A and B are shown apart, each in its own frame.
Chain A
Amino acid sequence: MFQFSEEKLQQAQKIIARYPEGKQKSALIPLLHLAQEEAGGWLDVPVMDYVASLLSIEPIEVYEVATFYTMFNLKPVGKHVFEVCQTGPCMLRGSDDIISYIKEKLNIGPGETTPDGMFTLKTVECLGACGYAPMMQLGKTYREHLTREKIDQIIEECRRQVAVNN
């Protein structure tokens, strides 16, 4: 059964304490972020049920929120998720080329994960980095002013990171 580590549980309780009595449901989105971090990047049903029990709400209240927001993954993703923006301002600065280059390099399409479970490619809509386009989100960071060379470097960097962690 999934449950938060001691550290995450403390963080969760601190968040819940922000809201007035009886309004603990307000903590749902912050808690789902914590849960997704802890559960390997995606929200399986038992994970969502656990969050529901922490907040004393019905599981369906968690499912309807988790399915609404783009940042919550409802199926497994790779260790590194490339979320490449494809909206107008990025398109004007060459995001189409960046997306096709990543597809070619990793041999996967948007929404797919490499067979080794290392990379997932997602196309996303505007992330608020239009002046630094083309760009993508990688974990908690933004990678901006992307070029083919930078994509090569980022892929290398991710591979090295995984090698160190293993």
Chain B
Amino acid sequence: MGRKLLLDKIGIEGIKYFDAYRKNGGYRALEKALKMSPDEIVEEVKKSGLRGRGGAGFPTGMKWSFLAKPEGVPRYLVCNADESEPGTFKDRYLMEHIPHLLIEGLLISSYALGSNKTFIYIRGEYAWIVDILEQAIEEARQHNFLGKNILGTGFDCEIYVQRGAGAYICGEETALIESLEGKRGNPRIKPPFPAVKGLWDCPTVVNNVETLAAVVPIINIGGEEYAKIGVGRSTGTKLISACGNINKPGVYEIDMTITVEEFIFSDEYCGGIANGKRLKACIPGGSSVPILPANLLLKTAKGEPRYMNYESLSDGGFQTGTMMGSGGFIVLDEDQCVVRHTLTLARFYRHESCGQCSPCREGTGWMEKILHKIEYGKGTMRDIDLLWEIQSKIEGNTICPLGDAAAWPVAAAIRHFRDEFEWHVTHPEEALKRNYGLAHYADERAVVAQ
């Protein structure tokens, strides 16, 4: 069993509510933090090596230290709960089951950053979670952990929950800020970064739910202790939301020392591939990161076991590796069609493009149309090359990373499963009736047996 820091108390009855949370050590980190100076807290977070859990993996302590502090200007902390990356449902799990952990993390972080008004921006569809969070906020207020003069320290902090209304792009921090200001979710050009000019033009930090929750154990055990868990620059624990064709879909907390093979096949985690089938491919970090065939997923190109951490998952770059991303772990069994799966992702990105930048607005639509053509038996070999060309012209040519996020899944699908795309072109009739199955290189048993 790996060490757990976020979900260790998840089985306790009533942990969703203040009394049980408090009885089991809740809000002790906040009490401790309020006796420290804000800078000392930032220092602990830096020492912990915590990296942003929303997908980008940027060091949190460093992000915090960029926050501008001009005299007389309010600063804001915004919690990004706009979880919308296909395959990702970990923040939802945390907020539904142990909301006080997030509230406590938010209060500590607000104190560290000097935010007296903190917002949780939550995706609009998570409507019932708004009620859960608001109840937790009220409970915290009743016990003077939130509101005016918290625990007599003179620190004031209000937390407000704001619902979005269905827009993946609002998970991008500047689009989120625009949305919070009551506008369309069009990302801003950076610089200026939110740390200097964010919400209502004030210095702002935007952090993911899991990142802010992780601040609680960091304060409890200390940054140095936290950094000892895991390996290299992948410190602490990570929530992985596992889905697709596995026996036990769900949210798992891992310390980042286990192998991908153990994560998929052991009963503690995914419990193997569903229905006795074989593993074909996997997107381990949310739909934007490259898909890998089983062989490259379980072992790196050098033949070493691949681990569930930032460095190992990206070993080999985009040629033979992928990314940790948000931890949205999507598994495809031998019967799944990579072309069809990629088509659904292309449709997703076309639907979610905000329309500001032409390469993304037009390119995502073209990619969807071409993939549709190939999937439905009307594609040509030229279409596969065209698809490659379009994705390469979106990547790096847009204001925000949605362009890259849309391009990468298509690029990786062609890179590793070109034979499957070609088979759709050469066998259009057959492709309508059955799926391509396992490519020779995608058989994990052959790999494991080596």
User: Which of A127-153 touch B at CB < 8 Å?
Assistant: 127-133, 137, 140-142
Considering the chains assembled together, what is the distance between the CA atoms of A30 and B179 in angstroms?
Answer: 11
Interface residues in B105-133 (C-beta closer than 8 Å to A): 117, 123-128
Partner of B165, one of A18, A27, A32, A126: A32
List B contacts of A130 (CB < 8 A): 86-89, 241, 243-244, 249, 328, 330
**In the complex, A28 Cα to B185 Cα: how many Å?**
13
Residues of B within 8 A of A114 (CB): none
Question: A89 contacts which of B167, B181, B243, B340 (Cβ < 8 Å)?
Answer: B243
Contacts of A18 in B (CB 8 A): 117, 158, 160
Which residues of B are interface residues toward A (Cβ below 8 A)? 74, 83-89, 92, 117, 123-128, 158, 160, 162-168, 179-185, 200, 241-245, 249-251, 283, 287, 328, 330, 332, 336, 340-341, 344-345, 347-348, 351-352, 354
Question: Is A161 on the interface with B (CB-CB < 8 A)?
Answer: no
Tell me which residues across on chain B come within 8 A of A71, comparing CB atoms.
124-125, 165-166
- Using known A-B contacts A87-B86, A88-B345, A130-B89, determine if residue A29 contacts B241 with beta carbons closer than 8 Å: no
Q: How many contacts between A and B, using CB within 8 angstroms?
A: 145
Q: How far is the CB of A83 from chain B (nearest CB, A)?
A: 8
* CB–CB B241/A125 < 8 A: no
Q: What 0/1 pattern do residues 96 to 122 of A give for CB contact below 8 A with B? A: 000000000000000000000000000
From residue B376, how far is it (CB to closest CB) to chain A in Å? 13
Point out residues on A near B: beta carbons under 8 Å.
18, 20, 23, 25-30, 32-33, 55, 57, 61, 64-65, 68-72, 86-89, 91-93, 124-133, 137, 140-142
User: Are the C-beta atoms of A70 and B167 separated by less than 8 Å?
Assistant: yes
Among B84, B160, B162, B183, the residue within 8 A (CB) of A128 is B84
**Complex interface: chain A residues within 8 A of B168 (CB):** 125-126
Q: Is the CB of B352 within 8 A of A125?
A: yes
Q: Contacts A87-B86, A88-B344, A91-B340; is A29 near B179 (CB within 8 Å)?
A: yes
Provide the residues of chain B in CB contact with A127, threshold 8 Å.
Answer: 125
**Pair B185/A68 contact, Cβ less than 8 Å:** yes
Q: Which residue of B lies closest to A69 (CB)?
A: B165
Give the complex CA separation of A130 and B330 in angstroms.
9
* Complex CA distance for A144 and B184, rounded to whole angstroms: 30
New A-B contacts (19) at CB < 8 Å, excluding given A92-B243, A132-B249: A18-B158, A18-B160, A25-B182, A25-B183, A27-B182, A29-B165, A30-B163, A32-B165, A64-B183, A87-B86, A88-B87, A88-B330, A88-B344, A92-B336, A128-B126, A129-B92, A131-B241, A131-B251, A140-B128
